[in-house]
Structure 1
Amino acid sequence: MSTYDTSSSTALHYIYDPLCGWCYGAAPLAAVAREIMPVIGHGGGMMMDANRQQVSPALRDYVMPYDHRIAELTGQPFGDDYFNGLLLDETAVFDSAPPIKAILAAEDISGRGLDMLARLQAAHYVEGKRVADEDVLQALAAELGLNGEAFAQAYGRVGEEELQQHIAASRRLLAQVGGHGFPTFVLEQDGRFEVLDAGRWLGEPDAWREHLAAYTHR
């Protein structure tokens, strides 16, 4: 449960992608932030359309050094089912669109979009699940305690146009604040926007908590 002051005009915008390893590395920072202030998620669509990728030896060789580096810096776990399961499954596709739709659906029906993001990240990077598959997304929603029928209907309502509008708005925000890729955390306070350098806090959620809390007491 969040304990922040809901009358505050301070909020944190989180520009992410569900298939971004560094966003998974920053997941503890997002979780801590949600205890302190409202956090608003913005899906970036990193691996969509022409950028969606079939799992291949080339993809595995590309992502694994980054994943090991992320684990080293942040302490976030990467599972054997991911490294030696999903990354060897050449029938799997990495596509950001379905998981972002699932996040928007969870937000629509229960305000739990960021809970869905966190569950998706663990499913992908620890459990090696195919989070671009609709049946997997439906199962993850059920694990979160979301009503299955309501989730399926909300997921179906997120059409291509709405998804593209969401992605475009996220990227406009990223450009507006001068952010560089995912993840980007943007503090909004009294109508002013400030990019917070989350990189310096990776693996240091308690220090990040103190840093954010200072903004709520100004």
Structure 2
Amino acid sequence: MTAPTLHYIHDPLCGWCYGAAPLVRVARSMMTVQPHAGGMMTGSARRQISPSWRQFVLPHDRRIAQVSGQPFGEAYTDGLLNDTTVMLDSGPPITAVLAAQALAGADAGLDMLSRIQQAHYVEGRRIADRATLSELAAAIGLDTDAFNARFDELEGAATQAHIAESLSLLSRVGGGGFPTFVLEQAGKLTVLEMGAYLGQPEAWQARLAQVPGTGPREQATTDINPPFCGIDGCTP
């Protein structure tokens, strides 16, 4: 029996991906999870925080919190989102995840992604800043010098190539945006709908247990209209 792999197509600044973080943790306990970052807010899509952006994003975040149960800290809602000097840029955190993965494998990359999401949405930190990313790498147990060296190697062209490959995978499986979970088994790729499982990690665990080789089979629910962030950004 071929061991399954769950491909996780995401973006570090995708709010619904933060909402799906508990589902990622469950999946990691059951099978290999491979992260693929889509670069939702890179290049010309980067955004400077402004009062209008804050007013746009807060209802969106409240909806994510309501559906998923994920916390949004005051340092984010009342701090970061009021700081108009902050540039929201997916590129550096994506490079940081790739650097962690290069050093210690996919699990380290996923640990880095989780730590970045917490730093942004709970602690209100500037996750596009190199110094912040180095501190987060150290927090998950990576050697800072080794991390910084890998970051230097992977920023720019290598990160853009990864983003292009991620978007190619998203297109190939017919995914509409982030997050998208794609199960790979015996060479076959299947999108797993996950919207109905947000805030329900136990039900998600039961769904994944239906995959051969992961555990006992149980009845799953069907998600028809999952919430997500499009490749050009999130919408409430």
Is 2:93 the counterpart of 1:99? yes
Q: 1:76 matched to which residue of 2?
A: 70
- Structure 2 matches for 1:1-218, cutoff 5 A? 8-111=2-105, 112-217=108-213
The Cα shift of 1:37 comes to 0.5
SS where residue 209 of structure 2 aligns? helix
What is the RMSD computed on CA atoms of the aligned residues? 1.1
Q: Which moved more, 1:55-64 or 1:127-136?
A: 55-64
SS where residue 211 of structure 2 aligns? helix
Where in structure 1 do 4 or more consecutive aligned residues deviate above 6 Å? none
Q: Which whole-Å CA distance do the structure 2 matches of 1:13 and 1:97 have between them?
A: 20
Q: Which whole-Å CA distance do the structure 2 matches of 1:52 and 1:24 have between them?
A: 18
Q: Contact between 2:92 and 2:155, CA under 8 Å: does it hold in 1? A: no
Q: Which whole-Å CA distance do the structure 1 matches of 2:130 and 2:90 have between them?
A: 12
TM-score scaled to structure 1, two decimals?
A: 0.95
Q: Which whole-Å CA distance do the structure 2 matches of 1:176 and 1:194 have between them?
A: 11
Q: Which whole-Å CA distance do the structure 2 matches of 1:116 and 1:83 have between them?
A: 22
The Cα shift of 1:73 comes to 0.5
SS where residue 215 of structure 1 aligns? coil
SS where residue 36 of structure 1 aligns? coil
Percent identity over the alignment? 54
String of CA shifts for 1:73-99, please: whole Å, max 9, x gaps.
Answer: 010000000000000000111000000
What is the letter of the counterpart of residue 153 of structure 1? A
What is the letter of the counterpart of residue 174 of structure 1? L
Which structure has more helix as a fraction of its residues?
A: 1
The Cα shift of 1:9 comes to 2.8
The Cα shift of 1:160 comes to 1.4
Q: Which whole-Å CA distance do the structure 1 matches of 2:212 and 2:82 have between them?
A: 45
The Cα shift of 1:159 comes to 3.3
Q: Contact between 2:41 and 2:89, CA under 8 Å: does it hold in 1? A: yes
What is the letter of the counterpart of residue 39 of structure 2? G
